[in-house]
A and B are shown apart, each in its own frame.
Chain A
């Protein structure tokens, strides 16, 4: 596609439920990133994929968070047993090869509200 797409745009869930967030990167981009933007923490890195593998999961805030990528394209971020502090905007980005000297392009984000 022309840009990074994410779905859903908005998600409201009840505390304790699981949610899945989807990211479709720019066609041909091998690197994919997840970030989170919350009022208290600003923009923070969550996880990085190179192809289907995730060499760096250091940013995931807890073991309730997991992510996968299949076919070197679409990625899913799953949050189990959601908590109110998980409320945030989840942003996905992609870049061509994943090198440090590359532009990362961001999607529109998924706004998650946990009640």
Chain B
């Protein structure tokens, strides 16, 4: 299957700081999703972004499909942004997940 690598594995931020999370993948994809897993374990959809750039409030994402990477930007972070961020890709239907970036935002 397609290999997905996320970096950094862990990140600690002070409230108000900005951050960039990266997702590299090993093959062409036609589906890339970013998720936030909250402390209760729920996977919350952030973006469906196989290519291009999208923005939703303080979050934005960019995928450069030809170079096989995607970036998730979090601006003005809040404590509620804490959790694990997953990138998942597929060229078929089964999503291949990275190991995630664990984010802790401190007050």
- Which residues of A pack against B, CB within 8 Å? 31, 33, 35, 37, 42-45, 48, 56, 59, 89, 91, 93, 98-106, 108-109, 111
Contact = CB atoms under 8 A, between A and B. Distances in A.
Contacts of A91: 43
Interface residues of B, number: 23
Contact of A100 (B31, B45, B100): B31
B42 A108 contact: yes
Interface of B: 30-31, 33, 35, 40-43, 45, 48, 50, 86, 88, 90-97, 99-100
A3 B96 CA distance: 22
B80 to A, nearest CB: 18
Given A48-B93, A104-B95, 11 more contacts: A35-B95, A42-B100, A56-B93, A89-B41, A93-B95, A100-B92, A100-B93, A101-B50, A105-B45, A106-B45, A109-B41
Given A103-B33, A103-B48, A108 B97 contact: no
A28 to B, nearest CB: 17
B91 A104 contact: no
A31 B48 contact: no
Contacts of B96: 45
Given A103-B33, A106-B43, A108-B42, A43 B93 contact: no
